Structure 1
Amino acid sequence: MNTYMETPRLILRDWREKDIPVFAGLNSNDQAMEFFLKKLSYQETLDFYHRIQQEFAAKGYGLYAVEKKEDHSFIGYVGLHAVTFDVDFAPAIEIGWRLIPEVWNKGYATEAASACLEYAKTVLKLKELYSFTSLPNKRSERVMQKIGMVKTKEFDHPLVESGHPLLHHVLYKIEF
C-alpha cells in the first residue's frame, strides 16, 4: 500500500477495496454529483475504480484516495488524470477532486490539491496541469484559484450535448 503524499490533515494513498462503498455513495450523492451529467450506479463506480487502478498501473499516477489522518476515514479522491476527450488543450493532464459533502468547506480539497501540485512538479516532473469544471460549479473553480491556477478560457465540453446547462466549462492551468 503506497502513501504518495501527506498533508497536515490528510493522507493521499492507493485505493483499498473497503473504499468502494463510500466511493459509491459519493458518486450517487445528489450534492456531490450536482455538476456532472449523471450520478453513477454501484456498477459504474466499480468500473471507475478499475479505470483508476489501470491508470496508476499505466502512468504511475492517478486519482489518489484521500483519508483523514484523525480517524483514517476515506473521504474521496484528489489527483491527476489524463484528458482523454477531444479538446484543443489535449493531450494534457488534469487535476481534479471529488470529496464527500460532509467534509466540504474545511479546506481539504485545497490542501490535497496543493500537495498534488507539488508532487506533480517535484516527483513527476510535469510541466503543466489543467483543471476544468462546468460554469455553475463555483466551489470547484474557487479551489482552482486557491491553488494558484489561472483561468485560460471557457469552452464547450465535447461530451455534453448542445443546450445542456453543463455544456459551458471554465479551463484553468498552472505551469511549473
Structure 2
Amino acid sequence: MKICFATNNPNKIEEVKAALGDSFEIVSLKAIGCSDELPETGDTLEHNAFQKAKYVREHFRVDCFADDTGLEVDALEGEPGVYSGRYAGEPRSDDRNIDLLLKNLENSSIRTARFKTVIVLLLGDEEYKFEGVAEGEILKERKGDGGFGYDPVFLPKGYSKSFAELSMAEKNQISHRGKAISELITFLSHR
C-alpha cells in the first residue's frame, strides 16, 4: 500500500520507514510533486496534522497521513507545545530552539516534560487519529548527536541516555512518534 507522509523532513520519513518496515510504501511530499508550504495555523497538534493531511488529499488526491509533534514542558506551562518547531522564531533552527528552552529553564528545578505526536490519516473518505506520548525530562545540556529537534536535551523516563544518544531502533520503541506510528501500523495491518 502506498501512502504519502505529508512531510519533507527526511529524518521523520526515515524514522517512519524504519518503524513500518516493508509493509507499506511511504512517500514524501517531494515524491508526489508537492513543494507547497503546508498550512499549520491550528492551535492544537491535532488541528495542524489534520490541516496538512487535508491539504495533500485535496490538492494531490492521494491517501496520506500527517503528524504534528510538540514538546510540553511542565515548568513552562506546556510550552513550547504546538509552537515547538518555531519556538525561537523564524527561520526554524533546532539549535536556537534548544538554546531558548535551556535559557527559559535555567532557574527551574522542575524539568519534567513530554513529547506528544498526533497523526491524522486520511484514507479514502475516512479520517483516523493516532497519538503517542513519551514522558521524560529536560537535561541541562545537550547529550548526543543523533536524532533531531529537541532530542539532545530530552531524557526519556527510565533511561540514562537522551533521545539523541539512542539508536533509531531504540528510539522508535519508546518515542512519541514510534508509539503513534505503532497505532497507525496496527490499524493499517487490520484493513
- The TM-score with structure 1 as length reference comes to 0.31
Flag the structure with higher strand content.
Answer: 1
TM-score (norm 2): 0.29
Greater CA radius of gyration, 1 or 2? 2
Q: Which has the higher helix share?
A: 2
